[in-house]
Structures are given as structure tokens and as C-alpha cells.
Amino acid sequence: MAPLVKGCSVAESTGFTRRHFLTVATLVTGGAGVVATAVPFVSSFNPSARAQALGGPVQFDISKLERGALAKIEWRGRPIYIVHRTAEMLASLGKDEAMLRDPSSKESAQPTYATNEHRSLRPEFLVLEGVCTHLGCAPLPRFEVAPADLGPSWPGGFFCPCHGSRFDLAGRVFQGVPAPLNLPVPAYRFVNDNTLLIGSDTGNS
Amino acid sequence: MASGEADVLDRLGSGLRALGAWIDDRFPMTKLIKEHATEYYAAKNFNVWYGFGVIATFVLVLQLVTGIFLTMNYKPASADAFASVEYIMRDVNWGWLIRYLHSTGASAFFIVVYLHMFRGLLYGSYKKPRELVWIIGMFIYLCLMAEGFFGYLLPWGNMSYWGAQVIVSLFGSIPVVGNGLSEWIRGDFFISDITLNRFFAFHVIAVPLMLVLLVVVHIMALHEVGSNNPDGIEIKEHKGPDGKPIDGVAFHPYHTSKDLVIIVVFLIAFAAVVFFAPDMGGYFLEHANFEPANQLQTPPEIAPVWYFTPFYAMLRASAEQAPRRRAHGLCRAAAVLSLPWLDRCRVSRSGIAVACTRSR
């Protein structure tokens, strides 16, 4: 197509510039119409009002969770891991820091009240999203120390079956694995001594 | 009596000819048949490697037909999907056969397409003037991978669920837009009923439409330039006094009758898998997929379905290596797409690139 400016400056015939003006105007208007029409179609792909409304906080009774045991519950379609850690498990956290990528959780996602050495409100109760920070699989709990398949330096923790990422008993990621960050900690609080509320943390300091 | 029959046949024949002429005045029927079959000349020295294109077309039709019949009993909802597949397998008349044809067809499609591409690499089928045939073929391969990925979620088994989780999360690792993009793809904050519903739409209509369209374009581009052949002779450059290539024969009936034999041989192997090993020891149908999706439990033995295995190693790279691996992967994709311009050797005469002299 000849440039519009050339037609205008020459202006040999009014029809020539008029034709170009109409062509460009039609293209611009039509293009804007196509873009505007695309908006509702593209936007219909985003989470619907119903999908957004689901996912309020969930409760969990921790009184029946034995020391050393893990409970899995669902919150917003995600697995949430609750671990009642033993004294030995907590003690292992101080010893494995040399093997970790982000031992003090500086880059990882957790509420401020879980940004500490045990990554939790109460040291013995670990609450994590069971969502590998690599590609979203649910890491498997592997709490035994130094099993044959994970090697002699394994302090107990989580192993992702998808691509082999490793996390310790505070959900902190090891070096040299695909996952870049520690397992996220969701917002949570204790409603009373025995009841954990996941998805809401109003009242925590 | 005999003359009466001949008379009827005569009149039938002239009636059909008249109908053909009537259509030809309004639609280029005879012209299309001539251009793409009876007067489309292809080299007479094709070997068996040149049969995989026609097998791929056959498998495409098989997948479309079995797929249509599966949709008649399948329910694209997270609460019903797994049970509806079991229903197809157990209660629908011949449902097991239709589903096994479709699931085996998916793996067969990849085997055949990989061999088809290997033929292209072996004999330099991507070289001038066939660059576009290669590039369109690469887009078909992309569509095929998308089709396989969307279809894999539909049975809503546990491997379906976590496979989709991994691949959609892959988009989440794109800087800045990643998180919003993976949410946009899922339509939810996790792989859910909503995701299943839209993957169904992609699998049964959006991607197949694109696939069929691309295959038509692929064949049109091929027929414009013509197939190459194992000896690398351009048949269009050597024409007889009648203007027809002397090294070629008409696609129909000569190549079509050969192709029928090839399809029969393929079907023997295909049927052996469908009837005796439809899960192929866990490669075609993975064992963890016989359990319904469980969003709290990744299968301990998770691995991608075999045709995605080449990409699996890239995902296992550590976070320190990941940017390098990603760049590496993109470079490889770019290299495959631009292969017609990277490989400047002459078409080899023996199937094995011998002398690599610059032709341009």
C-alpha cells in the first residue's frame, strides 16, 4: 500500500487521498472492533466468580495428630501438610543448613510470623503448602533419616517424585535440585489450643 | 437379455458422466482429482520410509472417528469423568475397543510422525524448495503435542491430573506474566473441573480443527513442490516428450495401491497392540492412571507418557542450571525450525550424507 502522506502531499486527485483515508479508517475501526471483541473471549478464560468465591479458610483439629506424624488437608484445591514435629526433628533443622539454598527463608514465601528457624508459629507444628516450588507437584513425606534411595546425608524431609526436588523438615529447599524456593507457608492461626485455622491469620502478630 | 443389460449400463454411465460435467461446471471436481491424484506425479523410487505420511493421515482419520464416538459417552466433569471412562470400558457395546483404538492411536500417531520426521532428516526432505513443507510439519507436530497433552487430562486419572499440573506450572515459570498466565490457562487456582471442561473443548474441537487445516496446508505445499526421493533426483527437471516427468508415476493408481499395502501392514502391527497389549506395559496407558485424580497425592512413580520423554530431562535440571537449560531448549527448537537454512549440503544420493559441498 502506498503511504498516506505521499497521497496527501501530491493531491493530484481528491479521490486518491480520499480512498486512502477511507482504507486506513476502515482498518483502524475494524481493528479496534476485533480487539474489543477479543476482550470478553480472552477474559472468559480467567477464574470465574464461582472459582474465586470458593476457598475460604478451613479448620483442623491438631489434638489427634501424633508426634512425628503428618496430616494432609485440602485448602483451595491445594494439599496442606501439617506435621507435628518431634524434638529430634526440630534438632535436625539446625544441622542441615549448609546443604540448603535459602536456609533463613529470605527469598521464599511465608508470613512474617513463620520467618524464623523453624518456619512456624509454634515450633512443633509445621504448616506447609504441599506444592513444589518447581512445577507444583505434591512432595512426598520422607521423614526417615538416611534411607538407601535418598543417601546418607538425608536428615528427613520431603521428596518430590516429579523431578527429584528435596526439602528439609521445615520445607526448606536443598541445593542442586530443580525447585528454586522453600515450600510456601500459608496464612494460618490457632483458634484455640487444639484448633488450627488455615487461610486466615487475623490476630497473629 | 445381454444387450438389454449393456443398454442399462450404457445409460447409467452416460448419466454419471452428465452429472460429473454438471458438477465440473460449478465445482473443480475433476480438476482437483487430476491435480492431486491421477495427474500428480511422484517419484517411482520411493522406499518404505515414504509410507509414513500416508499412515499418519490414516491415523489422523482413525483418531477423529474413534474420538467422535468416545465423546458420545464421555462426561467432561471432574465428578463424572473417571467413571464415564470406566463405563465406556465396561458397559458400552464395544466401548473398550473404541477407547483402546483411540489410546493406542495416540501413541501410534507419535511413533509414525517421529519416523516421518526421521525420513525427512535422512533424505533432506526439508531442503529447497521444500522448506515450507518442513515448517508446516513442525507446526503440525506442535499441535499434535498440544492435542496429546489436552487429551491426557480427560480420563481424570491421577497421572492425568499431576501431568497437567506440571505442564501448566511450566507456564507459571515464565517471568512476570507466568502466574497470571497459568491461572488463565486453568481458569482456576488449581487443576479443577473448570480446567477439565476447557481442556475437553480444546481436545475435541479447537486443536483438531487446527490440525486438519494444517495437514491440508502441508499436503497442498507438498503437491506444489512434489516429494523428494531417496536418490535426490528432482523429477520435474527430467520430462519426457509428453511433458510428464520420466522418473515419476501418477499418484493414483500407482502410489495409492502401494499405500494400501502399507496401511494393511501397519494395521496388523496396530491391531496386535490394541488386542494384546493396549497398555504396552505401562508406556501407552500408565498404571497410576487407573486411579482417579487425587489432588493431595502425586503418584510416587510419576513419569511423563513416553512421547514426551525427551523433554523430561530438561525439567529435572536443578534451579542453578535451569536458565541455561531453558536457553538450550529454545535454541534447539529454533534450530529445528530453521533447519532448511542451516543445512546447506546438497541432497544426498544414498540416504547418508557423504560429501558436504556447498550448493549455494
Give per-residue pLDDT as tens, A95-127: 888 999 999 999 998 999 999 989 999 999 999
Tell me the pLDDT band of A171, cut-offs 50, 70 and 90: very high
Tell me the pLDDT band of A14, cut-offs 50, 70 and 90: low
Task: Please tell me the predicted confidence (pLDDT) of residue B310.
Answer: 78
pLDDT above 50 (res B183) = yes
A147 touches chain B (CB under 8 A): no
Tell me the pLDDT band of B354, cut-offs 50, 70 and 90: very low
Query: Rounded CA gap, B171 and B174, in Å?
Result: 6
Give per-residue pLDDT as tens, B324-341: 888 888 898 899 999 999
A81 contacts on B by Cβ (under 8 Å)? none
Task: Please tell me the predicted confidence (pLDDT) of residue B360.
Answer: 40
Query: Rounded CA gap, A195 and A14, in Å?
Result: 81
Summarize the confidence of residues A163-188 as an average pLDDT.
94
- Reference B155, options B94, B95, B103; nearest CA is B103
Mean pLDDT for all residues in chain B: 91
Taking the alpha carbons at both ends of chain B, their separation in whole angstroms is 70
More confident residue, B142 or A1: B142
Summarize the confidence of residues B88-103 as an average pLDDT.
96
Question: Tell me, what's the ipTM?
Answer: 0.78
What lies within 8 Å, CB to CB, of A127 at 6+ separation is A80, A81, A82, A114, A120, A121, A185, A186, A188, A196, A198
CA B126 to chain centre: 18
B315 contacts on A by Cβ (under 8 Å)? 134-135, 162-163, 178
Mean pLDDT for all residues in chain A: 89
DSSP string, A22-71: HHHHHHHHHHHHHHHHHHHHHHTTSPPHHHHH----EEEEGGG--TT-EE
Q: How far is A126 from chain B (nearest CA, A)?
A: 17
Give per-residue pLDDT as tens, B226-271: 999 988 889 999 999 998 999 999 999 999 999 999 999 999 999 9
Long-range contacts of A68-75 (CB under 8 A, 24+ apart): A68/A143, A70/A141, A70/A143, A72/A130, A72/B296, A72/B297, A73/A198, A73/B296, A74/B295, A74/B296, A75/A186, A75/A198, A75/A199
pLDDT above 60 (res A13) = no
B170 contacts on A by Cβ (under 8 Å)? 135
Cβ-defined contact of A55 to B162 (cutoff 8 Å): no
Task: Please tell me the predicted confidence (pLDDT) of residue B210.
Answer: 98
Summarize the confidence of residues B107-118 as an average pLDDT.
97
Cβ-defined contact of B173 to A135 (cutoff 8 Å): yes
Burial of B22 (0-12, 13-18, 19+ CB in 10 A): exposed
Shortest CA distance from A50: residue in chain B: B188
pTM of the model: 0.87
- Reference B297, options A163, A56, A81, A169; nearest CA is A81
Task: Please tell me the predicted confidence (pLDDT) of residue B348.
Answer: 56
Nearest beta carbon to residue A79 from set B186, B198, B295: B295
pLDDT above 60 (res B317) = yes
Cβ-defined contact of A72 to B318 (cutoff 8 Å): no
Cβ-defined contact of A161 to B172 (cutoff 8 Å): no
